[in-house]
Structure 1
Amino acid sequence: MKTFEQTVIHLGAPTLCGVKPSSLVSVSKEVLFCEYKKILLWNKILEDGQKKIKIARRGENLFLLFIYDEKLVQKILSKPEVLSYLNLKGYFTDNGISNVLNELLKRLSYCEIFPHEIGIFLGYPLEDVVGYEKYSGTKTKFSGAWAVYGNVAEAVKKMELYKKCSALCSSLLEAGNNFEAICKTINFM
């Protein structure tokens, strides 16, 4: 069984490496309470790289760690087609990144089913997010880290990059590096 640190580093690696706008990690209420000080410390470490960890409650005993890269999320939110989609979903996109993310976290906390637009923030192409929403995960061209409805070659390339980031960060942790050392290493590569 993986430790809290192993899980966060493995699942959050593509975001920590700066190639994925955000990652989600599910943790139990008990784990969150035990590791809360560590999350606060990690947020201080991540500040320089414009990355953050926010917490969303997901039910009675489950929480989500939303790890994100501000620059990459901002880049996504600069695309007119993404803004249009999010506006249709009821987001007020002209109020800035902070308000958009707060709305997303609120929806993650209070919506019974996952809001489909989470895919946008996780770096999935808009075409794939809309396709998943329309076809409920069926009629895909390819399935991997997400359901692909658009460009399979590009999606597979991205998925492979995400796997490489996870493998790299996990191996750095196994070699005895802590979270801070891993972040410094990957930011200078």
Structure 2
Amino acid sequence: MTRTIDIPTFQAAVVRNCSPTLAGIKPASLFTYPGTYAHGDGSTTTETIAERRARLLNVIAQCNRELDPLGIHLSVLVWRPCGALVYAYRAKSLATYFADPRVQTALTSEGYDTRDLSACLVHLASRITLASNNVAECACSQTRCALPQQASCSKDCTCEFPHEIGYFLGYPYDDVHEFIVQRGENYKVFGAWKVYANVEQALATFDAYRACTQYFTFIYQQGCSLAQLAQATR
């Protein structure tokens, strides 16, 4: 089922899923905006997929007019049968994060050019799309409709979700690296991500994310715009 495509509904989804990024305490956020935005589920509708995509892109463009001047940008990373994968990010914060030599090495090994964020996002999108397209033919029968919290595939196969996406969300390097090495197992704490190191710091971060989301949801419902939210913690 396609969620209503209008500014209030989309903005509410941004607040629910991206408040820490709006507040500047998280470099980026990712969420699925439900709806049929690609062929694959056999559903019928009077509105074509192309029209639906165009409507959502128009809504996102209007939001970006508010947020771009504040260093925040929204874009559709991948169109999928279950929804549009929307990425909200602060380019400067990501550039700082990608300056970590360990992150650069990890991403370069997967074909990313960390000097070019736009190119990185294109490559990430292609890897997500490849995993989604290949899952139907994979013997492991994994479902790849959700995000990186999913269990990792038990085989080295083409359906494997590109778990380096954790770097694009600003998760701690050690946790992303160990998640990939451990194939999502043997973690110490599970919150916004699976934690393998610095548990206390991660728990404090989870609390900060929750508090931020609760506060931003409240003041958004009182009439604050996305731009006002993005400036609320300055």
The answer as to 2:26 corresponding to 1:20 is yes
Aligned to 1:66: 87
What TM-score does the superposition give when structure 1 sets the normalisation length?
0.87
Alpha-carbon distance in 1 for matches of 2:98, 2:186: 28
Separation in 1, partners of 2:34, 2:224? 25
Is 1:177 the counterpart of 2:198 in the alignment? no
Corresponding letter in the other structure for 1:145: A
CA RMSD of aligned residues (A): 2.2
TM-score by length of 2: 0.72
Aligned partners of 1:74 and 1:111: how far apart in 2?
A: 26
Q: Deviations over 1:73-114 (max 9, x none)?
A: 0011111111011111221234x2222222223323332243
- AA aligned to 2:172 is P
C-alpha contact (below 8 Å) 1:58/1:110 kept by paired residues: no
How many angstroms apart in 2 are the aligned matches of 1:64 and 1:5? 15
How far residue 57 of structure 1 moved from its aligned partner, in angstroms, is: 2.2
Q: State the structure with bigger RCO (CA 8 A, min sep 6), 1 or 2.
A: 1
Match of 2:129 in 1: 109
The amino acid across from 1:87 in the alignment is T
Shift of 1:131: 1.4
Moved over 6 A (4+): none
Change (3 A) 1:137 1:79: same
Give CA deviations for 1:46-72 in whole Å, capped at 9, x if unaligned.
Answer: 111211111022433421110000111
Residue 45 of structure 1 corresponds to which residue in structure 2? 66
Aligned residue pairs: how many?
A: 186
Distance 1:176 1:49 in 2: 19
**Any idea what the Cα deviations from partners look like across 1:101-156, whole Å, max 9, x if unmatched?**
22223323332243111101111111111211122222111111110011101111
181 and 92 in structure 1: CA distance in 2 versus 1, 3 angstrom threshold: closer
The residue number in structure 1 matching 2:167 is 120
User: Which 5+ residue runs of structure 1 have no aligned equivalent?
Assistant: none
Give me the identity figure in percent: 28
Secondary structure of 2:80's counterpart equals: coil
Distance 1:9 1:23 in 2: 11
Bigger proportion of residues as helix: 1
Give the structure 2 partner of residue 8 of structure 1: 14
Establish whether residue 165 from structure 1 lines up as the match of residue 212 from structure 2: yes
Query: Structure 2 CA distance, aligned partners of 1:151 and 1:184?
Result: 30
Give unmatched runs, 5+ long, in structure 2.
37-51, 133-159
Please point out which of 173, 177, 202 is paired with 1:130: 177
Q: Which amino acid aligns with 2:29?
A: S
Cα distance change, pair 32–8 in 1 and its aligned pair in 2 (3 A): farther
Q: Is the alpha carbon distance of 1:154 and 1:138 closer, same or farther for their aligned partners in structure 2, counting shifts above 3 Å?
A: same
